[in-house]
Every structure is written in C-alpha cells, then in structure tokens.
Amino acid sequence: MIEWMKAYWTGRVTSLAAMPRGDIVAAGVAEKEALIRDKHGPYRAILGGGFVARLDRGGNVKWFRLIHTESRLVITDVKAVDDWEIIACGWMEERGFSDHAGVVFKFDGDGNLIWARKFYGGITDTFSALAVTRDGGAVVVGETRSFGAGVSDALVLRLDRDGNFVWWGTYGGRLWDGAESAVIDGSGRIVVAGYTYSFSEGAPNVWLLWLNDNGDVIMEKTYGTESLEKAVGIALTRGGDPVVVGKTYDPMKSRYDAWALRLNREGEPRWGLRFPGKEVKDISVSPDGDLVLGMGDFTLVGLSSGGKPQWEERLRLKRWSELDAVLANGNVLAGGKLSWEKALIASISPEGKPPGAVGWDPRMGESQCTVFEAYSNGRACFKAVPNGRLTEMKLKSWEFEPDVFGSLRELVRSRSG
C-alpha cells in the first residue's frame, strides 16, 4: 500500500539514506531553472548536475542542493555520517564526453558544502558507491582506466573525515574489472562487490574482495555460472554476514534474472535465490533485520535474513517509471524516475504475497588480483600498457570548487567574478 508518493524536480533519484533522527537524504541527478546574479546583473539559466536533498519523514523537502560544473555530473551514492554530516560520491565528465573523473562531496546537516574532491588520472575514473568509516571518513569504490593492471580495474579510495586521501589503490587483472558497492563489517574489513572478466571463464563473474583498513587484500573470491553475472549491491545482516545482489543476463532467453546471495564470513554461500525476469538495482536491510530488494520495474521484494521470501509489492503507475534506490526504514522507500522526466520517491507499506523464486547455486572460485598502491604522497600510481610494461601515471589536482545552488523554488547563487 502506498503511504505517499511525490514527483519532484526534473531528474532521477539514484540513492537514498536515513538520518539518525528519521529524516531522509536523497541524491541523484537534477535540472533546475536558476537565477544567477553577477556583476552584469541577474539572469536566468537552466542548470543541470548532481543533487543532494534532505527530506522529512513525509517526503517534504527541508533543503535542496544542486552541484553544478561546466560538464555533466552524476551522484551515484549518498550516506549519512551522523545527524550533521552527509557524504556523496559520483562522477563528472572531463575533456568533453570521453573521459570521466570520480567526485566526492561532504555536506553538513544544513546543506552547506564542507569539502569537495575530484579523482582524475587522465582517462576515465568513476565512483559507484561508498561506505562510512568509524572515524567519520569514507571508503569510496568504483572503476579506473587511468591506472591499474588491465583495461579497467576496481578502484578503492580511503578518505579521512576532512577529505584527505589516506590511501588508494587499484585491484584487477589484464581485462575488465570493476567495483560497484562496498560495506565495512564488524571486524573492520572492507568488503567490495563488483565484477571481473580477468578471473572468469569467458563471461564476467561476480567478484568480491575483502580488504583490511590499509587496503591490503585479505581474501578474494568469484561467483558465477555460464551466463553473465554482475554484483550491483551489498549489505550486511544483523549477524554481520554480507548479502550480495546482482543480475544475470541469459543471452539464450534475452532477459535479466535478479539474484541474492548470502555468504558467511569466509565468503562461502549460505543460500542463494534467483528471481526470473527481474533486474535488481538495490538492497536495504530493515530495522528488524529483513532484506528488501528493489527491482528496476518498481517491484519490491522482502526476504528474511535466512533467505525465505516474505512479500512482493509492485508500484504500478500509468506512466513508465524506473527504480534505482530502495531504503527500508519503517516503511519501504523507493526512489527513481517517472516518465523520463521527474525524480520520484514513494513510501510503501508492503502487504503482497511472497514472490516466486528459485534456488541459485553459483560456483565459487579463487582469484589473485594485481594490486597497485598509490605512492609519491598519493599523487601517482602505475598503469600497465598492452606490452606489459608499467607506466607512471599522476593524479591531477583533487581539490575543486563546484557551484552549489540552493533553494528549491528558485536556485540562487551570487557571483562576484
């Protein structure tokens, strides 16, 4: 049952997070009309970029911030550090449309930008997700083509509370590898979920890395079948076990199947479920420990931590819609896009019947990735060229000042330059 549903500004919601006192943080992509005041006088312009917004429990906007640069910028993940700070990550275009840079932002609880960081090695670097550390910093994960041992490598970056780079490194083989999500377990291990071509037999497999607080590899494993598999999200049960969700593409049937896989602390599967014809986008853990999966067609699926299907509810709208984010926080919040135009958030009290699901038992394998650690005060790393020779690549300046526009009804930013 829908408790409330609201369409906001032009754009889409890509991530949702809960503040400790019950407020909601939404992030994604937005486009708004802005009033610019500079030395030549006021003028109006259409501005696009990433957004971060704080909402109350009823979905009403407390504040909205549009992060604007001269090129396209997308926020992919957002987390609440505490009741007064918010961290978001994503990517922006560099040098036209061909290259990308990873970006990280920190806001206070009132929407003021504390710091912004950019990660760009000269080719393409993107951030997909982040996990908050105990000291108020973050571990940010994504993909790099600027550095690493292969065509693309998983990229992991550790920042402290003030946005300083503590360490960063690349993880991968000779082909395409990347990181899509990460959590930090009760032992302080960083668990990174993504995909690998380098350590699979043809089609890509799910790839998990366990790292210590210094970025050293503790353990790494692959999971897959004969089809194309990719992890898109990871969460922790109350007991601290990782639950990975992702998608399998079966070219013979020309469809995606969603799946969920719970592992023990040694990376061995406890249970696996597959949902035929669905494409999972996100996972969240409810306050009572149940799992909620969000599918691209706005289908929500509830599972017990033991893997028992509990309920399924689909948000059926008259216009096309697509889900990107889910948050189990009392009711279930689903965020995405409505009819190619509006950012959409719905609060749902699920009451459907258990979904149809079948068992999923992927084969588990081992991998041994190449790790390149940053050196020279964190400003350089290696890139392996096709002949196997290592080339030094330097990180560009990571400090930058994007324009941040506030006020939902009329975005106003005064410029003196």
pLDDT digits (tens, 9 = 90+) for 347-381: 999 988 999 899 999 999 999 999 999 998 899 99
- Percentage with pLDDT > 70 across the chain: 96
Burial 45-74, CB ≥16 within 10 A → b, else e = eebbbbbbbbbebebeeebbbbbbbebebb
List the one residue out of 179, 174, 166 whose CA is nearest residue 213: 166
**What does the alpha-carbon distance between residue 302 and residue 262 come to, in Å, rounded to a whole number?**
14
Q: How far is residue 53's CA from residue 69's CA, in Å, rounded to a whole number?
A: 18
Sign, CA torsion 321/327/332/333 = negative
Q: 3-state class of 129 per DSSP?
A: strand
- Measured CA to CA, the distance from residue 311 to residue 390 in angstroms comes to 52
Find the DSSP H helices in 46-191.
none
pLDDT digits 0-9 by tens, 257-304: 999 999 999 999 999 999 999 999 999 999 999 999 999 999 999 999
Is the pTM of the predicted complex or chain greater than 0.85? yes
Per-residue pLDDT at 251: 81
Mean pLDDT along residues 177-206: 96
CATH number reported for the structural domain that contains residue 363 in this entry: 2.130.10.10
Per-residue pLDDT at 417 = 35
Strand (E) or helix (H) holding 367: none
Core vs surface per residue 190-205: b (16+ CB within 10 A) or e: bbbbbbbbbbbeeebb
What residues are paired with 35 via a beta bridge? 44, 412
Residues 317 and 417: their CA atoms lie apart, in Å, by: 46
Chain segment 67-107, per-residue pLDDT in tens: 988 888 999 999 999 878 999 999 999 876 679 999 999 99
Q: Smallest Cα–Cα separation from 198: which of 178, 180, 176, 179?
A: 176
Q: 375: which residues sit within 8 A by CB, 6+ positions away? A: 381
In whole angstroms, how large is the CA radius of gyration of the chain?
Answer: 21
Q: How many helices (H) and strands (E) does the chain have?
A: 0, 34
The answer on pLDDT for 40 being more than 80 is no
Tell me phi and psi for residue 253, to 5 degrees: -100, -5
What whole-number distance in Å separates Cα of residue 107 and Cα of residue 87? 6
Range of the domain at 329: 2-414
Tens-digit pLDDT profile for residues 126-165: 999 999 999 999 999 999 999 999 999 999 999 999 999 9
Query: 291 vs 62, 150, 252, 276, 306, CA distance in Å?
Result: 29, 35, 30, 18, 9
3-state secondary structure of 317: coil
Q: Tell which residue, 112, 113, 52, has the closest CA to residue 88.
A: 52
pLDDT greater than 60 at residue 415: no
- Taking residues 320-333, report their average pLDDT: 95
End-to-end distance of the chain based on CA atoms, in angstroms?
51
**Number of separate domains in the chain:** 1
